[in-house]
Amino acid sequence: MGELGVRESDLDESFTRSGGHGGQNVNKVSTAVVLVHRPTGLRVRCEKERFQALNRFLARRILLDKIEAQQRGVAAAEQSRVEKIRRQKRRRSRRARQRLVELKRRQGEKKEMRRQVVTE
C-alpha cells in the first residue's frame, strides 16, 4: 500500500452478508467486504471466502491491483502518445518513401479495375 501511496484512511470499508457456498455462516454473518478508495472512486466487493478477515485481505489486494493498473495505464497512455508524435515527425528513408509510393500505385490500379466498364 505504501508503494502506491494508498493510506488506510483513504478507504471506506463496509460489511454485508454474502451469498452462495458456505452454508448458514454466510447467510447469518456479514462476511462480504466492500472497499471504496475515496481518491480514485474505485469500489471492490469480495465474498470469495467464508471468513470476514480473509475477505478483507483479499479485497485490499484486489483494490491495490486495480489502482496499480490504473496508474500504469495513465503512464502507458502518455508514453504511447509521445511515441506516436515522435513517429509522425520522423523523416522517412528514401526506401520507405519508394515503398509507400509503390503501395499507393498498386492500390490505385486495384481501384481502377473496379470502375464501371463503359460499352458503346
Q: What is the pLDDT of residues 57-92, one digit of tens each?
A: 999 999 988 888 888 888 888 888 999 988 888 888
The domains found in the chain, sorted by start residue, are 8-113 (3.30.160.20)
- As given in the structure block, the three cell numbers for residue 111 are 481501384
pTM of the model: 0.59
> d(Cα 115, Cα 112) in Å, to the nearest integer?
5
Q: For residue 120, list its beta bridge partners.
A: none
pLDDT for 111 beyond 90: yes
